[in-house]
Amino acid sequence: RQPMKTPAGSPFFVARPPGGAKLFIIAIGVCALLLAGCGKKDKEATQTAAKVNKEEITVYDINFLLSQRRAVPPEQAASVTSASRQALEQLIDQQLEIQQAQDQKLDRQPRVMQQIEAARREIIARAYLEKIGEGAPKPSPQEIAAYYQANPALFKDRRIYSLREVDIEATPEQVATLKSALPSAKTFAEFITFLKSNNYRYTGAEVVRPAEQLPLASVKQFATLKDGQAVFNERPGGVQIIYLAQSKSEPVNEQQAGRPIEQFLSNQRKLKLVADDLQTLRSAAKIEYKGAFEAAAASEPYQPASAPELPPLISIAPPASESSASAAPQVDVAPPPVTAASMPSDATLDKGLKGLK
């Protein structure tokens, strides 16, 4: 044994095997590789939450699953909480099911393969739409204030409505009869008795809804209703009657409404941006209908879905017409108590129909 100097001058005491320096360099290289491999395994182990037979479930899988659950705060996703443990157990069950399905070749069945491909297309298309939607302009404080002022029924004059909803099956001839029978009834209970005695098929519910949970196109109409009045809506196969049993005022100030309005306007602009982009793509693409669809497309050309008409960025006017499926800005206030969905008793319905519509 004799001391050997490194280039830096540090002494190492080593035995010189046959081959001398060459074998020594090889040994050092092997050790370095082993140490690097151990470090890599340790790093990977920290990201592995469980192994199911030979398949690994990682912390990334758990975090992704938790990110899909809005109720879990992001800061909890990185730590082992009851939510993350529950997510892990769910992933373990899922992995066991996947392994069994693959053993039985269920993943090769035509129906399953079609579902997988459909899910893949939907995920990719949604990613593109989200990217397009990111270009939507953010509403300015002036626009938010203008929307607040233009929609008093949602904010300054906001009301909570206790409603009786009745859906009635009826022929066109019966619809005409119902139109005259409703205002003729002295009470809403009397109208319900009329339906029963004439063997109308109907379903009813008793609900409590704030203004923002009404169809956006109906908000102004309901704002004009007084307690004891009703709305008569014709529908395919019958009618729907909504009776306003009572209401109470619960206004929302501009500060409370600011954030919901901003989110609402942003979402509407994203919808319009996406709809406009899709129309541009259709115009530029060569689309050929085949088979039976060729004749159908020729007789009834494609009509793009109507995008919400939004005001220019410099101002906001009251919306002229909006889809009944649109939802108003959801204001974060204490929710009203919800009554069980059932037909009201005669006592609760014994209110006058003065000014019934």
Phi/psi for 336 (5° steps) reads -75, 155
Q: Are 170 and 335 in contact (CB under 8 A)?
A: no
Both tokens of 283, joined, read 């115009």
283 contact partners, CB below 8 Å, separation of at least 6: none
Between strands 230-235 and 55-58, the pairing is: unpaired
Beta carbons within 10 angstroms of residue 64's beta carbon: 13
Place of tokens 């500060």: 255
Distances in whole angstroms, Cα of residue 217 to Cα of each of 54, 120, 144, 201, 326: 56, 35, 19, 28, 8
- The distance of Cα 174 from the centroid of its chain, to the nearest Å, equals 39
Q: What is the pLDDT of residue 20?
A: 52
For the segment 8-50, what is each residue's pLDDT rounded down to a tens digit? 444 444 444 455 555 444 444 444 444 455 554 444 446 899 9
Q: Are 32 and 24 in contact (CB under 8 A)?
A: no
Q: What is the pLDDT of residue 347?
A: 39
Instruction: Name residue 12's beta-bridge partners.
Output: 4
Q: What is the pLDDT of residue 74?
A: 54
Both tokens of 20, joined, read 């001398």
Q: What is the pLDDT of residue 357?
A: 38
What is the spatial distance between Cα 181 and Cα 195, in angstroms, rounded to a whole number?
A: 10
For the segment 310-338, what is each residue's pLDDT rounded down to a tens digit? 444 332 233 333 343 355 665 544 444 44
Phi/psi for 95 (5° steps) reads -65, -40
Sign of CA dihedral 9, 12, 16, 22: negative
Coil, strand or helix: which one is 41? helix
Q: Are 274 and 132 in contact (CB under 8 A)?
A: yes
Q: What is the pLDDT of residue 67?
A: 86
Q: 52 burial class (0-12, 13-18, 19+ CB within 10 angstroms)? A: middle
Q: For the sheet containing 202-210, what is the strand order?
A: 202-210, 159-169, 238-249, 230-235
Distances in whole angstroms, Cα of residue 83 to Cα of each of 58, 71, 97, 145, 304: 15, 10, 21, 40, 43
Q: What is the pLDDT of residue 117?
A: 96
DSSP string, 237-293: TEEEEEEEEEEEE----HHHHHHHHHHHHHHHHHHHHHHHHHHHHHHHS-----THH
The stretches in the chain having pLDDT less than 50 are 1, 6-17, 23-35, 40-45, 77, 310-325, 332-357
What is the spatial distance between Cα 121 and Cα 30, in angstroms, rounded to a whole number?
A: 47
Dihedral in degrees, nearest 10, Cα atoms 259, 261, 265, 268: 110
Q: How many residues does the chain have?
A: 357
Q: 105 burial class (0-12, 13-18, 19+ CB within 10 angstroms)? A: exposed
Sign of CA dihedral 38, 42, 48, 50: positive
Sign of CA dihedral 158, 162, 167, 172: negative
51 contact partners, CB below 8 Å, separation of at least 6: 57
